[in-house]
Amino acid sequence: MFSSISSLLLLAAGATARIYYAGVAESGGEFGVYSATATPGTGLPGRFGVDYAFINESTVDVFVDQDKINLFRVAFLLERMCPLEYGLGAKFNETHFGFYKDAIDYITITKGAYAILDPHNYMRYNNPSQQPATGSVIGNTSDPNAATTIDFELFWYELASRFKDNEKVIFGIMNEPHDMPTTLVLQNDQAAIDGIRKAGARQLIIAPGNGYTGGHAWCQSSQGDEPSANELYKIRDPINNTAIDIHEYLDYDFSGQHSICNQSAPANLACLTSWLKTYQLKAMITEFGGDNNTMCDQYIDQLIQYMDDNDEYIGWTAWAAGPLWGTSSPCCTDGRALGSLEPGSHASDGSPSLYYTVWLTAIQKMVPANLIRSGISSIYG
């Protein structure tokens, strides 16, 4: 039922460079596990629709029907999909998987958009109680509690097996690996790719680097580990349908916590873009954001325009919407409760949320008119 990747390759040479995918991250599937004492198992599995949730169908409708996006990045926790009593691997909590599949099917089948499957675990498993700091690094052979790289491959084989017939799925290997050897990031990324392809899935895969997969730091050492640029070019996909997954915030420390935007994306992404060009790779920026001020509007515009102008970039999702944010903000506000990118949300003082003051004013106007609406997810559109 899929279009041939080979035929897409033949068409790619004559295709006009453009963004194929644009949309928003749906954050909420990773909620409900925080523990002040970092106690493993806190909030697991949790109450669906109360402690955690994936999407609000009515706001997905707004994004697709009114805002004309075609991509959602939907977060989940490995510890809910693969409970601690099972361990990371091919055995799932079927109730939890059913909730997640319902969300992905609504996006992809009912609404006809694309969906990134996003294990929001920072390349860690077994204790998400104080993410991103807690949990054992997957593949860390010196940690007896750590899941292995083989476990990670088995997990991706199983998940891909269940979605291989849904051509509008994109496999996001992992959210923001950090503070680990970059060689191990590569090893785990490759294991995930191997598992996905062994399952017979041919859809697009996006692979992260180290250092929270920051584009600005792609060519730099991060937390003492070697640059992602030194290792990630070694990724191998037998059908050449893998792109690089990048996050890029615009505040002074690239954390996405602050309301002042002062980091130039064109300058900070130059080395990454050159690296992508050298190795003939593509990338998607799946997290970025800003506060509701004129300066951030300008920096967001620069970032999205930079992607438009460089054919190494094929898509993006802004951070973040989600059904459980309420008046809280997912990024970029110095802790002020200005709401999220969720349609219909509002700030704590009752004023319009970031959906109205950032999404509609700075981001939605940059959504390309010619996004793809059909066919298998692919680096070739």
Dihedral, CA atoms, 29, 35, 41, 46, nearest 10 degrees? Answer: -40
Active site residue 312: no
**Residue whose structure tokens are 């054992």:** 136
Q: How many CB atoms lie within 10 A of CB 194?
A: 16
From the list 30, 79, 248, 287, the catalytic residue is 287
Helix, strand, coil percentages, rounded to 5, for the chain: 30, 15, 55
10 Å Cβ neighbour count for 2?
15
Amino acid, res. 1 = M
Containing 317, the helix (H) or strand (E) segment is strand 313-321
- State the CB neighbour count (10 A cutoff) for residue 234: 12
Burial of 221 per CB tally in 10 Å (0-12, 13-18, 19+): middle
Using only C-alpha atoms, the chain has a radius of gyration, in whole angstroms, of 19
176 is catalytic: yes
128: three-class secondary structure by DSSP: coil
d(CA 248, CA 250): 7
Number of helices (H) and strands (E) in the chain: give both, helices first. Answer: 10, 10
Q: List, in order, residues 6 or more apart from 42 with CB less than 8 Å away.
A: 33, 34, 35, 129
Q: Quickly count: other Cβ atoms within 10 Å of residue 198's Cβ.
A: 14
What the block records as the tokens of 317 is 């999702």
Considering the candidates 176, 248, 312, 342, report the single residue annotated as catalytic: 176
The H or E element that residue 359 is part of is: none
Supply the residues annotated as catalytic.
176, 287
